[in-house]
Amino acid sequence: MRSRRESYSESTRSALVRSAVELFTKRGYAGTSLDEIARRARVTKGALYHHFSGKQAIFEAAFDAVETEVKGRLEKILRGSQPPWERALEGLREFVNSCLDPAYQRIAIHEAPVVMGWQRWRQAEDRYSFGLIRAGLQDLIDAGDVVDVPVEITSRLLFGALSSAATEIASSPEPERVGAQVQEVIVRLLHQVRSGTRG
């Protein structure tokens, strides 16, 4: 059982991360100060430094929070009771919806590659997204919905396509329209590798 101090420390950290997500979404990394993050979280700057070494560390915590939320929603869909093909289509819809979310757009897509560096950002995206894509594709193959393609390389290609799609959606002045186009194109591509034994 956690002590009162541990519970307070955890709630303080959560408040700081929520504050950081809100401010980084609204103002971006460069336009947000640690003083503002602490003030919005209603804690002292010393309390902030107790949990985070600096601005980049709290940004990475905000990034993790945004990505974890999206991953959780996608995992729930992909582990659902629907047939694999329906789960894949619903997961795609949820991914596109996530790309329309201002926090995901600003923090995970626009800011993270610059703040974290491209290599570390790609590794983080790999950790959050690639496993879901690979598992979803494997389920489709196992169910006979998709022809028996090489799972690893096909997952990598899908991962790259979806990463590019996320950037296109987030960078567009008409993100809803681009999101709908992305969804349509990827569904068509999936149909190209769908097994002829299914309708």
pLDDT tens digit string along 65-118? 999 999 999 999 999 999 999 999 999 999 999 999 999 999 999 999 999 999
Domain ranges, residue 172:
55-193
Question: Residue 157 corresponds to which tokens in the numbers above?
Answer: 């290609």
Domain count, the chain: 2
Shared-domain flag, residues 43 and 77: no
Q: Residue 50: pLDDT above 70? A: yes
Question: Residue 28 corresponds to which tokens in the numbers above?
Answer: 């971006």
pLDDT by residue (tens digit) across 12-47?
999 999 999 999 999 999 999 999 999 999 999 999
What CATH number has the domain bearing residue 7? 1.10.10.60
Question: Does residue 199 sit within a domain?
Answer: no
Shared-domain flag, residues 45 and 101: no
Shared-domain flag, residues 92 and 123: yes
Question: Does residue 120 sit within a domain?
Answer: yes
Instruction: Name the H helices within the chain.
Output: 4-27, 34-41, 45-51, 55-78, 84-99, 102-103, 112-116, 118-125, 131-142, 151-171, 175-192
pTM of the entire predicted model: 0.90
Shared-domain flag, residues 48 and 78: no
Question: Does residue 198 sit within a domain?
Answer: no
194 by DSSP, 3-state: which? strand
